[in-house]
Amino acid sequence: MGKLRMFDTLFEGTTLVIAPTGPVSNLAAHDMLSEVGPLLALVQSDECRSVLVDMEKVTFFGSVLLGVLNSLSRQIRRRQGRFVLCGLSQVGGEVIHATRFDTLWPIYPSREEALKAMGGE
Amino acid sequence: MEKGGDWKVRYAVHGADALEKLAEADFDLVLTDLVMPGMDGLELVAAVHGRHPHVPVILMTSKGSEEIAVRALHEGAASYVPKRILAQNLVETVRRVLAVSSRHRGEARLLGCMSECRLTFVLGNDVSLIESLVVYLQANVVQMGLCDEAECTRIGVALEEALVNALYHGNLRVGSDLRGESDQEYYAMIARRRRECPFCERRIHVTARLTRDEGIFVIRDQGAGFDPSKLPDPDDPSALERASGRGLLLMRAFMDDVSYDPTGSVVTLVKRRKTDPAGPAKENP
């Protein structure tokens, strides 16, 4: 799979795993946007049934990455797929909670636990 | 070392012994071999740097260990001396490192006595300066002993949201509604307006007043302002997926107080030091 600069991607079965490669400042928005198109294309591909975003390497982020996550989430939910997060840092968890996205997206501590839960449902 | 200067030298048999001695008394400098039983010199450099950041470490290296010397510098070593020129260079290196660390200690002690810091900046629309300003303010907040690392990150997120709002929505007048429709068009308009008059002439005024008890950040843009009461209700479930208002939510979540003036062009963010139940915060060395 082609490697993007700000996101690593791979398929685990029919789950697309997306992992930001580091902290995501709002000021990196221009760089990030050039990678949203390829990410959305992967979400729209036939083999993709669900999306897991692994935030392990993201110590902090703001509203811009939230916007990208929201776009990916809307895209997969339009296809009746699931959108799940894992590996949030303490502050990352607080960002998700403050913006109420924890009411929308299931969150797991690690990629392994998320994949296990997604496979078992 | 004992002949070369007026220093008192104490010896440790290995890295763990050195760390024990450092915990027991104040030392001005650590000189260590790279190869030792148990913990090696690199591990000792990292441990000393983490536990006693004000104590410089000089590493003695053998022939062919230049790469390790570079790694040691990355780990926080102050310098290194190749063993083949130890006799000629060691004393001079120790003197030089001690002189530098003495200045740093003096500065750290002085800054530990600082009771108030006021900073004022006037920024154009250079986005990279916003990032630098956030990092600079975070460093000053830490210097004033206002918060720990996690809290510092929260402050950084809140300040970045406020500054980006001031630039994008305030000075450049690009609304979040556009982002909901097309991210590409949203950022294209930002890029365009950064070069166009009157947007390109507008400035962001930032003041920070930091004390040992609180940080007050005032960010003023030169746009037309907005009505803060018309922001979406964050408790409204339908607002969850809208593009606007998330930055303000984060500012409110991570600061103790966030308020706008009636014009909507000035936002004031306040962060107070959490009271430690164990007692007052320790001053910097």
Q: What is the 3-state secondary structure (H, E, C) of chain B?
A: CCCCCCCCCCCCCCHHHHHHHHHHCCCCCEEEECCCCCCCHHHHHHHHHHHCCCCCEEEEECCCCHHHHHHHHHHCCCEEEEHHHHHHHHHHHHHHHHHHHHHHHHHHHHHHCCCEEEEEEEECCCHHHHHHHHHHHHHHHHHCCCCCHHHHHHHHHHHHHHHHHHHHHHHCCCCHHHHHHCHHHHHHHHHHHCCCCCHHHCCEEEEEEEECCEEEEEEECCCCCCCHHHCCCCCCHHHCCCCCCHHHHHHHHHCCEEEECCCCCEEEEEEECCCCCCCCCCCCC
Residue A33 has pLDDT above 80, yes or no: no
CA distance to partner chain A, nearest, from residue B138 (Å): 14
Inter-chain residue contact B240 with A104, CB threshold 8 Å: yes
Chain A, nearest residue to B150 by Cα: A91
* Partners of residue A33 in chain B, C-beta under 8 Å: 183-184, 187
Write B124-131 long-range contacts (CB < 8 A, 24+). Answer: B124/B200, B124/B203, B124/B204, B125/B167, B125/B171, B125/B172, B125/B194, B125/B199, B125/B200, B125/B202, B125/B204, B127/A27, B127/B167, B128/A27, B130/A27, B130/B160, B130/B163, B130/B164, B130/B167, B131/A25, B131/A27, B131/B160
Domains and their CATH numbers in chain B: 15-112 (3.40.50.2300), 116-272 (3.30.565.10)
Chain B, nearest residue to A35 by Cα: B184
Q: In this structure, what is the dihedral angle of CA atoms B260, B261, B266, B270, given to the nearest 10 degrees?
A: -50
Phi, psi of B52 (to 5 degrees): -135, 70
Chain A, nearest residue to B236 by Cα: A100
CB pairs under 8 A between A and B: 72
Q: What is the pLDDT of residue B283?
A: 45
Q: What is the pLDDT of residue B90?
A: 87
Q: Could you say which residues from 247 to 266 on chain B have a Cβ atom under 8 Å away from some Cβ of chain A? A: 247, 249-250, 252-254
Residue B64 has pLDDT above 90, yes or no: no
Chain B, nearest residue to A94 by Cα: B253
Inter-chain residue contact B154 with A94, CB threshold 8 Å: yes
Per-residue model confidence as pLDDT tens digits over B231-248: 766 666 666 666 677 888
CA distance to partner chain B, nearest, from residue A61 (Å): 7
**In what side-by-side order are the strands of the sheet with B79-82?**
B30-33, B57-61, B79-82
Residue B115 has pLDDT above 80, yes or no: yes
CA distance to partner chain B, nearest, from residue A62 (Å): 6
**Higher per-residue pLDDT: B170 or B54:** B170
The average pLDDT across B90-103 equals 89
pLDDT band at A32 (very low <50, low <70, confident <90, very high): confident
* Partners of residue B182 in chain A, C-beta under 8 Å: none
State if pTM tops 0.90: no
* Partners of residue B247 in chain A, C-beta under 8 Å: 62-63
Q: How much of chain A, in percent, has pLDDT values that exceed 70?
A: 95
CA distance to partner chain A, nearest, from residue B153 (Å): 7
* Partners of residue A74 in chain B, C-beta under 8 Å: 241
Residue A81 has pLDDT above 50, yes or no: yes
The residue assigned the tokens 């600069």 is A5
Inter-chain residue contact A99 with B179, CB threshold 8 Å: no
Maximum distance among all Cα pairs of chain A, rounded to whole angstroms: 38
In DSSP terms, A46 is beta-bridged to none
Q: Is the peptide bond before B56 cis (omega within 30 degrees of 0)?
A: no
Q: Do the Cβ atoms of A29 and B187 come closer than 8 Å?
A: yes
CA distance to partner chain A, nearest, from residue B239 (Å): 10
* Partners of residue B234 in chain A, C-beta under 8 Å: 100
Residues 6+ apart with CB under 8 A from B186: B174, B176, B178, B179
pLDDT band at B282 (very low <50, low <70, confident <90, very high): very low
CA distance to partner chain A, nearest, from residue B41 (Å): 29
pLDDT band at B285 (very low <50, low <70, confident <90, very high): very low
B187 part of contact set with chain A, CB < 8 Å: yes
Angle at A106 between CA A103 and CA A110, to 5 degrees: 140
| CATH 3.20.20.100 is the classification of domain A7-119 | no
Lowest mean pLDDT among A10-19, A26-35, A99-108, B247-256: A26-35
* Partners of residue B127 in chain A, C-beta under 8 Å: 27
Which residue in the set A27, A67, A103 is minimally distant from B243, CB to CB? Answer: A67
